[in-house]
């Protein structure tokens, strides 16, 4: 894959361990309201709710987080206090990178590749996450910039415009089939699926590579 010039990454779930961050936040809710559901299953349900909220119309991601968490808790029989519906917004900047994230990103940078983040996020929220990763990205494209959410094509369209790199020379790396891998392949990009949970691949999409984490990424380039 010597022709690749630019690697684009989803952030949350790919570079940042957003499930761990959400579970930790939900533990606070559990302690306050006596939540009995399995927290990892609640995170899976949250992802479904968030996707539907994002489809309604463009809102800032901080509002998407608040609305989606409120809906999730309502489904669980909880009528949360307003401050608790913003728990994801408050804690997101501290959600940790995956253990290999920083070293792999630095290695790719040292190898001379251009690097980008394409994220369904607000500008202010992603800034702290990038600091935690501790590596430099050439381009950061957010939902606030495109005023759309993946799987809509706005992030990829903007990346091609601002980078000047041809579509065939971009490799997109992400954990979400729905938000990233399926649309990236549909748009003609090469794609690496980071399958951290060992999920079964849907039959309607074929990533160019599948990996359990970011560690093997430099070896395929």
| pLDDT tens by residue, 158-182 | 999 999 999 999 999 999 999 999 9
What pTM did the predictor assign? 0.94
- 118, 137 Cβ separation under 8 angstroms: no
Enclosing H/E stretch for 104: helix 101-110
Instruction: Report residue 8 as tokens.
Output: 């684009």
Is 10 an annotated catalytic residue? yes
Residue 3, exposed/middle/buried by CB under 10 A (0-12, 13-18, 19+)? Answer: exposed
Dihedral over Cα of 169, 171, 172, 177: its sign: positive
Each residue's pLDDT tens digit, 180-218: 999 999 999 999 999 999 999 999 999 999 999 999 999
Dihedral over Cα of 164, 165, 171, 177: its sign: positive
- Residue 35, pLDDT above cutoff 90: no
HSE of 80 in the Cβ direction (CA atoms, 13 Å)?
Answer: 25
Cα separation, 89 vs 132, in Å, equals 16
Question: Would you say how long the chain is, in residues?
Answer: 221
- Residue 45, pLDDT above cutoff 80: yes
Angle at 90 between CA 89 and CA 91, to 5 degrees: 95
All domains of the chain in start order, with CATH: 6-16+96-220 (3.40.50.1000), 18-94 (1.10.150)
Q: Which of 10, 17, 122, 180 is catalytic?
A: 10
Cα separation, 192 vs 194, in Å, equals 6
Could you give the percent of the chain with pLDDT greater than 90?
97
Cα separation, 120 vs 142, in Å, equals 6
Mean pLDDT computed over 22-27: 95
DSSP state for residue 214 in the 8-state scheme: S
Q: How confident is the model at residue 2, as a pLDDT?
A: 54
Mean pLDDT computed over 24-53: 94
Q: How confident is the model at residue 36, as a pLDDT?
A: 85
> Residue 124, Cα to own-chain centre: how many angstroms?
15
Q: How confident is the model at residue 152, as a pLDDT?
A: 97
Each residue's pLDDT tens digit, 108-159: 999 999 999 999 999 999 999 999 999 999 999 999 999 999 999 999 999 9
Angle at 103 between CA 98 and CA 104, to 5 degrees: 85
Each residue's pLDDT tens digit, 55-75: 999 999 999 999 999 999 999
């Amino acid at each position: 894959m010597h022709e690749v010039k630019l690697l684009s990454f989803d952030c949350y779930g790919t570079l940042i361990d957003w499930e761990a961050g959400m579970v930790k936040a939900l533990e606070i809710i559990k302690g306050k309201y006596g939540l009995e559901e399995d927290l990892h299953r609640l995170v899976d349900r949250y992802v479904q709710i968030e996707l539907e909220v994002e489809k309604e119309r463009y809102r800032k991601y901080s509002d998407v987080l608040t609305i989606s968490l409120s809906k999730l808790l309502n489904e669980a029989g909880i009528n949360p206090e307003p401050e608790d519906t913003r728990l994801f917004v408050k804690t997101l900047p501290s959600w940790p990178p995956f253990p290999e994230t920083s070293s792999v990103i630095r290695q790719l940078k040292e190898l001379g590749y251009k690097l980008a983040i394409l994220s369904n996020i607000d500008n202010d929220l992603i800034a702290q996450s990038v600091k935690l990763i501790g590596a430099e990205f050439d381009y950061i494209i957010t939902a606030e910039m495109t005023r759309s959410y993946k799987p809509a094509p706005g992030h990829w369209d903007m990346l091609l415009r601002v980078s000047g790199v041809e579509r065939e020379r971009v490799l997109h790396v992400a954990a979400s089939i729905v938000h990233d891998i399926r649309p990236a392949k549909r748009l003609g990009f090469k794609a690496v699926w980071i399958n951290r949970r060992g999920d079964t691949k849907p039959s309607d999409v074929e990533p160019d590579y599948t990996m359990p984490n970011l560690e093997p990424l430099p070896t395929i380039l």
